[in-house]
Structure 1
Amino acid sequence: MTKHNYQKPSQQTQEEALKIAKGIQRPVQTKEQTKLVAQGVQKGIDLYKKQQKEKARDLSRKLNKISRQKESSIASDAHEIQEKVTYKQHWLPWMLLFLTWLGIGIYFLI
């Protein structure tokens, strides 16, 4: 035995479907045909709602997954050892600057 999880469409959906079916009704169309069109529209509305709910669930799952990843990365960042960056400068520019000032000083003394 299989269990069908079919939910009865809401009254609002039925009314919307009937309204749409009457809006596109042909002059020679019978009431039975209009009801069949309304059922088709109603199935379309139900399918659309299911798809939107599924998209919302998927988006919610993705957002939860991202938030969990951020929390775990923040926690792992707290445990990491901070590295101290030191910049070692070369001696040549400082030597050239010193020699330049020394040369200017000697020039003005002579």
Structure 2
Amino acid sequence: MSEYEAKHRDFVDLAVPVLLSRPLTAEEFLTAHWDPGEKPPQTPDGLRELIGDKYSSRWLDLAVRLALEDLGDDLPDRRWALFHVARWHWPELFAHWRDRRNPPPPRT
């Protein structure tokens, strides 16, 4: 798999779940979507179809902001509280977000 293909796969596997984790506000939708006349989809499936399966920097930026909001101070590195730093480490940030949302079952 090429680096280009891996970037798209990682975007779909890691960023898209963050975007689908909650309803987006109209403002959030407009920051990531290029058509101001289009309304946000009413369902996660509609949003998933709209985002597609290709990397998009605008959708990625929104996903980073949502993950930072969800995680608060629970970041792998406190420097990631700055958007531009977290944006650089987006695969790790989203993996951490996913792990916090779906913790492993307790050991017995």
Normalising TM by the smaller chain, what interval? under 0.3
Highest relative contact order (Cα 8 Å, sep 6+), 1 or 2?
2
TM-score, structure 1 length as denominator?
0.24
TM-score, structure 2 length as denominator?
0.24
Larger helix share, 1 or 2 = 1
